[in-house]
Structure 1
Amino acid sequence: MESDHPHGLTFRLPATSPQTSDAAFGLGDINPTFFLSPSRPSAFTWGFGPTFSLPTATDRLLGSGKWAAGPAVVGLYQSGPWVVGALANNIWPFSGDQSQPEMNRLTVQPFINYNFDDGWYATSSPVVTADWNARGEKWTVPVGGGFGRLFRIGSQPVNAQAQAFYNAVRADEGPKWTARFQLQFLFPRYSVERGVERRLKPAWRQAARQSPCRS
């Protein structure tokens, strides 16, 4: 059975070190997101679906301790070398460690990319969050950006990028600066017909640059 709405899937597994009086370093909660979007190409692309937060953190300081879920949406516009868009979701817990604080968190990730030759691109994709249950300042608003490049290791497409952000709005105990390093192994859809494969190559390049996956 064919469908005009292909599926998309992203995972986020952060490695983090909180700047608090009690510090820890390790892996955070896994955040998979599933998208359903139109398959017909156009300058504007959108998608929607569920997102989840899985309590996989290696230290209680690095995660919520909760199983949580909520809705997610994404939209992006492509014109020449530019890609502009945003991804947003809000999650609520439905099970987990009752001793951990309750979760009600909004995440909005705007992104803007400018693509150069040879796979290089400039990018800014800050992760803006709002903790609705927090006392005091609820928002964290980073400002910054960085560079990345798409390349191949043998026949395997890879996307690598680095970005740095200053948290212009943050809670009192929040970090002033954050750095993000990303390495993605890409598995683009292709056809054995050379002509179709050539037409699909720009699509996976664009998708990789604005992908919300982080590691």
Structure 2
Amino acid sequence: MRNAPIYKIFWHFTGICTLWTVFIVQSAFAESNEELAKKLSNPVASLISVPFQLNYDSNIGPKDDGERYLLNIQPVIPVTLNDDWNLISRVILPVVLQDDIFPGARSQSGFGDVLLSLFFSPKQPTQNGWIWGAGPVFLLPTATDDLLGAEKWGLGPTAVVLKQTGPWTYGALANHILSLAGNDDRQDVNATFTQPFLSYTTKDAKTFALNTESTYDWESEQWAVPINFTVTTVTEFGNQLVSVGGGVRYWAKSTDAGPEGLGGRLIFTLLFPK
């Protein structure tokens, strides 16, 4: 019963995206599943995708009795600007269900704050094979509950650099967000996010990925460092290409009231190759 809100929202968005495929997905695809799996490892690839990433964490709060389900809906839309450049839009819309994150907090469910990243990226790699993109990142105060967001507008730079050699992909993504406006009673946002990543894609389109999604809060001077290991595979459901998988995470370092120990992740991604 307690998980009902997040799953209702999950299936609502899944239904919208599935109806979308009736109009834009063709029955034959020029790219192999292996090539698509490699594109999913590249944050600035020219591939429309809609990932649904469901995370579970526990041992939250000063008494370690809180838990959180976090569904990140992350549509990625590349746009051709000219013969040399693409603009890649990456949105993270969090849907949250959490309990007892601090004494007396009880339960909250709803939307969190939206994070919108825009990457201007050359269509061709550098002479040394490096792929890169850079642009602005925006924090939008869309949370439906005070405890699900920062109640701040934020802005900052973001960048990604990576290299793909055979089955291997390695690189890093980073951003820094400063709050510009919002509720004066809430703590300012001043945070640096870094995500080094490494993945290996097999001939049958399975990807083994390792990354960290580390955040340093300059206001509280604290790190949050989850280490994630996932396994995904690209396959077809009828005429719809998808990537499915999951994995585990370990909180190597956390904030005073943040998650601890092990967590889990499930991933379901709709793919719309050109």
Partner Cα separation in structure 2 for residue 78 and residue 122 of structure 1: 14
Q: Alignment length, in residue pairs?
A: 187
Check whether the contact 1:126–1:165 (CA below 8 A) recurs between aligned residues.
no
After alignment, is 165-174 or 70-79 more displaced? 165-174
> 2:111 matched to 1:27?
yes
Partner Cα separation in structure 2 for residue 166 and residue 20 of structure 1: 21
> 2:94 matched to 1:9?
no
State the TM-score, normalized to the length of structure 1.
0.78
Alignment of 1:1-215 (within 5 A): 2-16=82-96, 17=98, 19-21=101-103, 22=105, 23-41=107-125, 43-134=129-220, 138-176=222-260, 177-188=262-273, 190=274
Shift of 1:41: 4.1
Partner Cα separation in structure 1 for residue 264 and residue 212 of structure 2: 10
Partner Cα separation in structure 1 for residue 88 and residue 169 of structure 2: 18
Partner Cα separation in structure 1 for residue 265 and residue 114 of structure 2: 16
Partner Cα separation in structure 2 for residue 159 and residue 55 of structure 1: 30
Partner Cα separation in structure 2 for residue 2 and residue 146 of structure 1: 35
Amino acid in the other structure paired with 2:163: Y
Partner Cα separation in structure 2 for residue 101 and residue 173 of structure 1: 16
Partner Cα separation in structure 2 for residue 182 and residue 20 of structure 1: 28
Considering Cα pairs closer than 8 Å and 6+ residues apart, tell me whether 1 or 2 has the greater RCO: 2
Alignment deviations for residues 105-137 of structure 1 (CA, whole Å, 9 cap, x no partner):
111111111112322111123210011001xx5
Partner Cα separation in structure 2 for residue 5 and residue 129 of structure 1: 30
Q: 1:125 is paired with a residue of what secondary structure?
A: strand
The percentage of counterpart residues that share the same residue type is: 35
Partner Cα separation in structure 2 for residue 3 and residue 50 of structure 1: 22
Shift of 1:94: 1.4
- Aligned CA-pair RMSD: 2.0
Check whether the contact 1:9–1:32 (CA below 8 A) recurs between aligned residues.
yes
Q: 2:147 is paired with a residue of what secondary structure?
A: helix
Check whether the contact 1:124–1:163 (CA below 8 A) recurs between aligned residues.
no
Considering fraction of residues, name the structure with more strand. 2
Q: 1:61 is paired with a residue of what secondary structure?
A: helix
- After superposition, the Cα gap between the structure-2 partners of 1:31 and 1:163, relative to the gap in structure 1 and judged at 3 Å, is farther
Partner Cα separation in structure 2 for residue 57 and residue 180 of structure 1: 22
- After superposition, the Cα gap between the structure-2 partners of 1:126 and 1:26, relative to the gap in structure 1 and judged at 3 Å, is farther
Shift of 1:3: 3.6
Shift of 1:141: 1.2
Partner Cα separation in structure 1 for residue 150 and residue 159 of structure 2: 22
Partner of 1:211: none
Q: 2:115 is paired with a residue of what secondary structure?
A: coil
After alignment, is 162-171 or 65-74 more displaced? 162-171
Check whether the contact 1:33–1:72 (CA below 8 A) recurs between aligned residues.
yes
Name structure 2 gaps, 5 residues minimum: 1-80
Partner Cα separation in structure 2 for residue 56 and residue 151 of structure 1: 34
Partner Cα separation in structure 2 for residue 185 and residue 166 of structure 1: 27
Shift of 1:82: 0.7
Partner Cα separation in structure 2 for residue 83 and residue 139 of structure 1: 26
Shift of 1:153: 3.1
